[in-house]
């Protein structure tokens, strides 16, 4: 059920009312209506065709409303005002279809307010024989607020770069779309509509809505002789306002993949890819500091790891001093964010972990979860302190400053001007060689650390493929990444189970010690035994993964799979 | 998607009043509701201002799959509540079901495609027991039977219970006391006795003028009497039903 909206800000109120009267619309009494739109940082609701809104009206009614592409909108009346500047807690909503639908769509991500529009609304339902046909809303005195939290998250990145030359207009535009504000465009700030008319079609009455909309447009033209009003356009006052103030409801869609040329100088290509990683780092920076949800830190750390990996690959391409300095900086970023992420994963995966146990054991372990959750909160404060410190800002500004220098002002190592495809091709082959050699040397007695090393080798290769693989053909690249991922999943399961068991044993140990030294701290009976049973179950998981390694590696080391990779490299180096 | 039906063998006991008000209450708790008016009298359709002639051969085409249910859905005076309007052709529903084959499964089959669009379907059944009602009950999760606390009403209740018990996958049957007139001692007594049964809900819908006024107002009670005891009763009734659905 679509609706259309007219921006009639340019018309005098009397003209608007006259036009509405001329098409038979008699408006009801005015009431203030405040609407706040929410979505996840990456617009998961929108992707599923859902629009979530909190509505507050003058009569103190608060409702959460979800409109979708099919069926009527769902409206949940709640007793308390919903936040316009903080994220919405789905867990606090009553059980039922609305909560389930939102949870299914948003997953683990927080629902952030995107924009708030307040207006005086007068509505009319056009009826025939007492049956409703079309609904019309007149919104006046529209006010738009972009809540604090969102621009903070969305615009946090991009510390003012010293120069922005060397960036294509498209990249700049894309950044604007993502960050929601465009500082460059400040002089011609868009004017926001303050009066709109919305014509909403009811099910089975689309034709009647169309007809009314046409008559209304004609009537509006008749009452004035200007070109106004603008419209009609599909949407509603809220989506129109978002567009006008530059809030992009499409959300963060990951960094824009640079348009690479395999014959371009290697240094140019490296810098372009590093810039896209820096964009992801910046986009997730503030959300990670505020711990809005776990994904911000997760995505930030992916950007850090990808950057570190590419810096490592950049010998003889990147300038020596920049490379040395930045490897140090990004190593630090990796270190300060690592404990928080580990504990995020642990806490988020707790239900899955304890599903290995019976209910009684799982309950006995509750204090362990509480202990870890406490740790986790500390580690997040630590992240906030580290990333919020001036040191971190300087670090990012330096990095961005170098990345944004025009290509002709940067000189690199001795391979800097070699064709990108050739350089990357050689790196991919070397990384693959390393994976194969280590993998083939692994036998039943090989210590676990070797498998962990192999996982790292695999990651190195994977980042190269993800960043540059498409230079050798998208299809081949995807196939190679798929092969590699199957191996990596096995190595990941192996290492994760080990880390989880270690962490569990450490936590139990800490709790037992605390119980001994403080009279007030106690560990419930059965916790230690339950913990040991869980650790044993994890050991078993680890052994299962280990037992599956040979087959997984053999699959990776098959000739056709190896050939795909060689063909990929040949293609990109040509 | 859950399906709730209001049915009773006896006529005029408040099935339509319950269906309409319950559906309206549900729309306030985040639920996308479709009310299907299966009664050719069309009281629910009238009360919700959703009159509309079904396309082509009406009920026959709907049952045979010739025309799509979703295409016949209309808005109501309640935001978020949709109606599949009644039509005189529903008088021959049993015949159409029979012609389509597997008549008892037919309505359930017709409802299935609505699942992505609605969380709840409320079926307002005509009085009596017919093939159409059996088919509706087969598709229903929860059957709500309004009972006016009189001896005769209790008798027809047991007839309906037998019908539900006879079907293999019958819905959960729940009773709510309807149109209770507290001035009548006999009604009070019967109501007290009824209330001890486990399948009788706590909510009692009293006999009030607010419900009668739904006719001239053409709206659920909340729309014109938000603070009346009837509105409160339907709100509670919905809470009791919702608790059993999700
Ligand atoms: N709680 C009530 N208080 C007063 N009047 C009521 C109440 N409930 C229903 N009525 C009135 O009783 C009449 C029958 O109600 P309703 O149409 O809801 O019953 P029904 O069981 O659907 O009837 P039918 O069997 O004809 O479909 C209507 O006129 C209605 O206004
Ligand atoms: Mg009825």
Reported as a pLDDT band with limits 50, 70 and 90, residue A524 is: confident
Query: Per CATH, which fold does A261-406 belong to?
Result: CHAD domain (1.40.20)
Q: Do domains A3-245 and A261-406 have the same CATH topology?
A: no
Counting residues of chain A whose pLDDT is more than 90, the rounded percentage is 62
Domain coordinates in residue numbering, chain A = 3-245, 261-406, 419-574
Query: Which residues on chain A are in Cβ contact (under 8 Å) with B119?
Result: 74, 97-98
Q: In the prediction, which pLDDT does A188 show?
A: 38
Q: Which of residues 12-71 of B touch A (CB under 8 A)?
A: 27-33, 49-52, 71
Average pLDDT over residues B74-86: 93
- Chain A CB within 8 Å of residue B141 CB: no
Domain coordinates in residue numbering, chain B = 2-245
Distances (CA, A) of A574 to A258, A425, A459, A570: 20, 10, 25, 6
DSSP string, A518-553: -SS----TTHHHHHHHHHHHHHHHHHHHHHHHHHHH
Reported as a pLDDT band with limits 50, 70 and 90, residue B34 is: very high
Q: Residue with the nearest Cα to atom 18 of ligand 1?
A: B14
Q: In the prediction, which pLDDT does A84 show?
A: 82
The CATH homologous superfamily of the domain defined by B2-245: P-loop containing nucleotide triphosphate hydrolases (3.40.50.300)
Reported as a pLDDT band with limits 50, 70 and 90, residue A507 is: confident
Residue A110 pLDDT exceeds 70: yes
Among residues A332, A310, A313, A311, which one has the least CA distance to residue A322? A311
Q: Does a cis peptide bond (omega within 30 degrees of 0) precede residue B64?
A: no
Residue B15 pLDDT exceeds 90: yes
Average pLDDT over residues A514-520: 73
Give the whole-angstrom CA distance, residue A10 versus residue A22. 19
Give the whole-angstrom CA distance, residue A5 versus residue A229. 10
Q: What are phi and psi of B89, to 5 degrees?
A: -65, -15
Q: In the prediction, which pLDDT does A180 show?
A: 37
- Chain A CB within 8 Å of residue B79 CB: yes
Residue A109 pLDDT exceeds 70: yes
Q: In the prediction, which pLDDT does B195 show?
A: 92
Average pLDDT over residues B23-35: 96
For residue A420, give the H/E element and its range. helix A420-441
Q: Residue with the nearest Cα to atom 3 of ligand 1?
A: B207
Binding site membership of B14 for ligand 1 (Cβ less than 6 Å): yes
Looking at 1.10.3720.10, 2.60.120.260, 3.30.565.10, 2.40.320.10, the CATH number of the domain A3-245 comes to: 2.40.320.10
Q: In the prediction, which pLDDT does A231 show?
A: 62
Distances (CA, A) of A470 to A434, A457, A466, A475, B174: 21, 20, 8, 8, 62
* For the CA of B22, the nearest ligand: 1
Q: In the prediction, which pLDDT does A162 show?
A: 28
Q: In the prediction, which pLDDT does A229 show?
A: 58
B134 alpha carbon – ligand 1 mean position (Å): 22
Query: Per CATH, which fold does A419-574 belong to?
Result: CHAD domain (1.40.20)
Give the whole-angstrom CA distance, residue A507 versus residue A382. 19
Residue A340 pLDDT exceeds 80: yes
The chain-wide mean pLDDT, for chain B, equals 94
Query: Which residues on chain B are in Cβ contact (under 8 Å) with A99?
Result: 30
Residue A178 pLDDT exceeds 50: no
Q: In the prediction, which pLDDT does A225 show?
A: 60
A125 alpha carbon – ligand 2 mean position (Å): 27
Reported as a pLDDT band with limits 50, 70 and 90, residue A520 is: low
Q: Tell me the per-residue pLDDT of B180-213, one tens digit each, with 9 for 90 and over.
A: 999 999 999 999 999 999 999 999 999 999 999 9
Q: Tell me the per-residue pLDDT of B35-54, one tens digit each, with 9 for 90 and over.
A: 999 999 999 999 999 988 88
Q: Tell me the per-residue pLDDT of B81-133, one tens digit each, with 9 for 90 and over.
A: 999 999 999 999 999 999 988 999 999 999 999 999 999 999 999 999 999 99
Strand ranges, E, within B139-189: 142-147, 172-180
Residue A154 pLDDT exceeds 50: no
Residue A543 pLDDT exceeds 90: yes
Q: Does a cis peptide bond (omega within 30 degrees of 0) precede residue A179?
A: no
For A41-78, give one letter per residue: b (16+ CB within 10 A) or e.
Answer: bbbbbbeeebbbbbbbeeeeebbbbbbbeebbbbbbeb
Query: Which residues on chain B are in Cβ contact (under 8 Å) with A82?
Result: none
Residue A506 pLDDT exceeds 80: yes
Name the token pair of A461.
């290769």
Name the token pair of A355.
């599903």
Q: What are phi and psi of A492, to 5 degrees?
A: -65, -45
Q: Tell me the per-residue pLDDT of A123-148, one tens digit each, with 9 for 90 and over.
A: 999 998 889 999 999 999 888 888 65
B216 alpha carbon – ligand 1 mean position (Å): 13
- B230 CA closest ligand 1 atom index: 1
List, in order, residues 6 or more apart from A118 with CB less than 8 Å away: A32, A33, A34, A35, A142, A143, A145
Reported as a pLDDT band with limits 50, 70 and 90, residue A522 is: low
Binding site membership of B42 for ligand 1 (Cβ less than 6 Å): no
Q: Which of residues 106-165 of A touch B (CB under 8 A)?
A: 125, 127, 129-132
Residue A89 pLDDT exceeds 90: no
Q: How many CB atoms lie within 10 A of CB A475?
A: 11
By the CB criterion, residues less than 5 angstroms from ion ligand 2 are B 15-16, 43
DSSP string, A493-504: HHHHHHHHHHHH
Beta bridge partners of A122: A138
Q: Tell me the per-residue pLDDT of A403-459, one tens digit each, with 9 for 90 and over.
A: 999 999 999 999 999 999 999 999 999 999 999 999 999 999 999 999 999 999 999
Counting residues of chain B whose pLDDT is more than 70, the rounded percentage is 100
Reported as a pLDDT band with limits 50, 70 and 90, residue A544 is: very high
Residue A365 pLDDT exceeds 60: yes
Give the whole-angstrom CA distance, residue B106 versus residue B101. 8
- B43 CA closest ligand 1 atom index: 17
Residue of B nearest to A134 (CA): B75
Counting residues of chain B whose pLDDT is more than 90, the rounded percentage is 85
Reported as a pLDDT band with limits 50, 70 and 90, residue A227 is: low
Residue A550 pLDDT exceeds 60: yes
Q: In the prediction, which pLDDT does A149 show?
A: 37
């Amino acid at each position: 059920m679509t609706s259309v909206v007219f921006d009639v800000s340019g018309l005098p109120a009397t003209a608007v009312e006259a036009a509405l009267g001329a098409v038979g619309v008699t408006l009801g009494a005015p009431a203030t209506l405040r609407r706040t739109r929410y979505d996840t940082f990456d617009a998961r609701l929108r992707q599923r065709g859902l629009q979530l809104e909190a509505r507050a009206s003058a009569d103190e009614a608060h409702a959460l409303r979800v409109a979708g592409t099919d069926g009527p909108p769902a409206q949940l009346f709640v007793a308390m005002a919903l936040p316009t500047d903080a994220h919405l807690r789905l867990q606090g909503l009553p059980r039922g279809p609305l909560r389930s639908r939102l949870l299914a769509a948003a997953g683990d991500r927080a629902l952030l307010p995107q924009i708030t529009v307040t207006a005086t609304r007068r509505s009319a339902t056009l009826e025939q024989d007492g049956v409703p046909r079309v609904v019309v809303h007149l919104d006046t005195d529209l006010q738009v607020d972009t809540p604090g939290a969102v621009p903070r998250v969305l615009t946090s990145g991009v510390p003012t770069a010293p120069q922005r030359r060397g960036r294509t207009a498209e990249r700049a535009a894309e950044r604007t779309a993502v960050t929601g504000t465009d500082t460059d465009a400040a002089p011609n700030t868009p004017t926001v509509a303050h009066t709109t008319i919305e014509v909403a079609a009811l099910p089975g009455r689309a034709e009647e809505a169309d007809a009314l909309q046409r008559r209304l447009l004609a009537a509006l033209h008749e009452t004035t002789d200007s070109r106004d009003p603008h419209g009609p356009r599909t949407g509603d006052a809220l989506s129109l306002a978002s567009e006008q103030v530059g809030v992009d409801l499409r959300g963060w869609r990951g960094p824009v993949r640079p348009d690479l040329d395999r014959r371009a100088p290697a240094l140019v290509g490296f810098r372009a890819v590093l810039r896209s990683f820096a964009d992801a780092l910046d986009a997730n920076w503030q959300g990670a500091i505020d711990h809005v949800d776990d994904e911000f830190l997760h995505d930030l750390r992916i950007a850090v790891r990808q950057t570190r990996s590419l810096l490592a690959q950049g010998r003889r391409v990147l300038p020596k001093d920049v490379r040395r300095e930045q490897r140090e900086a990004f190593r630090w970023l990796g270190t300060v964010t690592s404990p928080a992420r580990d504990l995020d994963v642990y806490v988020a995966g707790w239900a899955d972990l304890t599903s290995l146990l019976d209910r009684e054991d799982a309950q006995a372990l509750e204090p362990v979860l509480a202990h870890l959750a406490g740790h986790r909160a500390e580690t997040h404060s630590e992240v906030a302190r580290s990333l919020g410190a001036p040191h971190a800002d300087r670090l990012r500004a330096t990095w961005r400053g170098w990345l944004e220098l025009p290509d002709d002002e940067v000189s690199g190592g001795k391979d800097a001007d070699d064709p990108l495809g050739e350089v990357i091709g050689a790196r991919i082959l070397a990384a693959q060689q390393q994976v194969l050699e280590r993998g083939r040397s692994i036998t039943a007695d090989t210590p676990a650390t070797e498998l962990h090393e192999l996982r790292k080798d695999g990651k190195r290769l994977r980042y190269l493929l993800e960043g540059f693989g498409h230079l050798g053909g998208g299809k081949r690249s995807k196939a190679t990444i798929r092969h590699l991922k199957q191996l990596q999943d096995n190595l990941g399961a192996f290492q994760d189970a080990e880390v989880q068991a270690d962490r569990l044993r450490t936590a139990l140990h800490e709790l037992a010690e605390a119980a001994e030294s403080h009279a007030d701290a106690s560990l419930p009976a059965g916790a230690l035994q339950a913990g040991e049973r869980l650790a044993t179950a994890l050991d078993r998981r680890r052994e299962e993964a280990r037992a599956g390694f040979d087959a997984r590696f053999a699959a990776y080391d098959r000739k056709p799979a190896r050939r795909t990779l060689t063909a990929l490299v040949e293609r990109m180096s040509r | 998607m859950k399906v709730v039906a209001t049915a009773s063998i006896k006529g005029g006991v408040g099935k339509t009043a319950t269906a309409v008000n319950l559906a309206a209450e549900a729309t306030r708790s985040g639920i996308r509701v479709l009310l299907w008016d299966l009664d050719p009298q069309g009281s629910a359709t009238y009360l919700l201002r959703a009159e509309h002639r079904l396309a082509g051969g009406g009920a026959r085409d709907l049952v045979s799959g010739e025309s799509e249910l979703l295409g016949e859905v209309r808005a109501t005076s309640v935001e978020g509540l949709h109606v599949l309007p009644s039509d005189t052709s529903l008088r021959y529903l049993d015949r159409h079901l029979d012609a389509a084959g597997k008549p008892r499964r037919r309505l359930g089959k017709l409802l299935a495609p609505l699942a992505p669009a609605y969380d709840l379907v409320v079926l307002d059944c005509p009085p009596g027991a017919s093939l159409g009602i059996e088919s509706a009950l087969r598709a229903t999760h929860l059957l709500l039977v309004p009972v006016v606390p009189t001896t005769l009403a209790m008798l027809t209740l047991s007839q309906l219970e037998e019908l539900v018990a006879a079907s293999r996958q019958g819905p959960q049957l729940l009773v709510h006391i309807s149109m209770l007139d507290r001035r009548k001692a006999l009604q009070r007594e019967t109501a007290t006795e009824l209330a001890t049964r486990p399948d009788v809900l706590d909510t009692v819908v009293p006999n009030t003028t607010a419900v009668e006024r739904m006719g001239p107002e053409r709206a659920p009670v909340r729309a014109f009497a938000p603070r009346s005891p009837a509105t409160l009763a339907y709100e509670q009734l919905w809470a009791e039903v919702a608790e059993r659905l999700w």
